[in-house]
């Protein structure tokens, strides 16, 4: 039994190791050593995935800001949802182009000077403003490691790298309330168990006032918009930087959020 547990938990040792492929390197279906499907890939058995998922879920619930644990949870529980998302992308011209070209979003792939020079209200400028105001970076997204299919590995990597884009589209800050609202939208959009768990259990840490606002106004708004909008993974954001954010929201059917001061609530 001890030997079995040591073998099952071996992938955990890699979590503190190298970060994986650079964010400007597309994930491709080539072999990178024995059993490795892409740079940074860690093959795992069903038992190992179950143990990783259980441990990651516990840590993520204890500390929602452990993004590494949230990432592990998403990878070890999201296989079925990722296949559905991949199939949606394959059927959409823009989504299929993304799967073919494998663009990455990072500071090394973004032309920051160009984004700053774009017209006021454009997607590119608003996205950059979001990063600046909230002091976040796309480079903080963990590399995929535990998905045993290179195309699905890219799908979940793409999902992570557009997370800040969804904050921009929804007009949500990065405080815990804003993150929960985005998680509700993502849960409806993606069906990823990690998003569903985050949406359901994230509110545990909210104040009574924030919880009332969340339940009465923000969750219904996020769910409605999540159902109404087409799959957000099918948007080639890098080719839409100049598009006015308002026009993109109208294209997706995303309405303005309720008139509550989300940034001031927690």
Cα separation, 266 vs 262, in Å, equals: 8
Q: Which two tokens stand for residue 30?
A: 């080539």
Establish whether 164 is an annotated binding residue: yes
Q: Tell me if residue 244 falls in helix, strand or coil.
A: strand
Q: Which two tokens stand for residue 215?
A: 């339940």
Establish whether 261 is an annotated binding residue: no
> Cα dihedral sign for 167, 170, 171, 174?
negative
**How many other CB atoms sit within 10 Å of the CB of residue 223?**
15
Q: Which two tokens stand for residue 106?
A: 């990072």
Partnered with residue 244 across adjacent β-strands are 122
> How far lies 166's CA from each of 34, 96, 117, 131, 183, in Å?
37, 20, 22, 12, 10
Establish whether 163 is an annotated binding residue: yes
How many residues are recorded in the chain?
A: 266
Q: Binding site for Zn(2+): which residues?
A: 163-164, 167, 179
Q: Binding site: which residues?
A: 163-164, 167, 179
């Amino acid at each position: 039994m001890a030997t079995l547990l040591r073998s099952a938990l071996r992938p955990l040792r890699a979590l503190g190791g190298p970060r994986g492929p650079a964010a400007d390197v597309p994930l491709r279906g080539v072999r990178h050593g024995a059993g490795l499907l892409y740079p940074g890939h860690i093959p795992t058995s069903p038992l190992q995935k179950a143990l990783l998922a259980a441990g990651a879920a516990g840590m993520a619930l204890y500390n929602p800001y452990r993004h590494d644990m949230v990432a592990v949870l998403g990878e070890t529980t999201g296989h079925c949802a990722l296949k559905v998302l991949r199939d949606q992308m394959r059927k959409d011209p823009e989504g299929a182009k993304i799967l073919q070209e494998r663009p990455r979003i990072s500071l090394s792939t973004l032309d920051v000077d160009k984004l700053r020079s774009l017209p006021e209200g454009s997607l590119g400028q608003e996205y950059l403003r979001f990063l600046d105001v909230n002091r976040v970076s796309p480079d903080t997204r963990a590399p995929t490691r535990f998905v045993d299919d290179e195309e699905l590995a890219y799908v979940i990597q793409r999902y992570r790298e557009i997370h800040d884009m969804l904050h921009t589209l929804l007009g949500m800050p990065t405080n815990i309330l804003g993150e929960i609202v985005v998680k509700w939208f993502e849960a409806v959009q993606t069906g990823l168990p990690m998003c569903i768990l985050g949406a359901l259990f994230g509110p545990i840490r909210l104040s009574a006032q924030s919880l009332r606002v969340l339940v009465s106004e923000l969750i219904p708004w996020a769910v409605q918009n999540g159902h109404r909008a087409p799959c957000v993974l099918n948007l080639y954001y890098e080719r839409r930087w100049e598009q006015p954010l308002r026009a993109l929201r109208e294209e997706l059917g995303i309405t303005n959020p309720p008139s509550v001061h989300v940034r001031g609530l927690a």
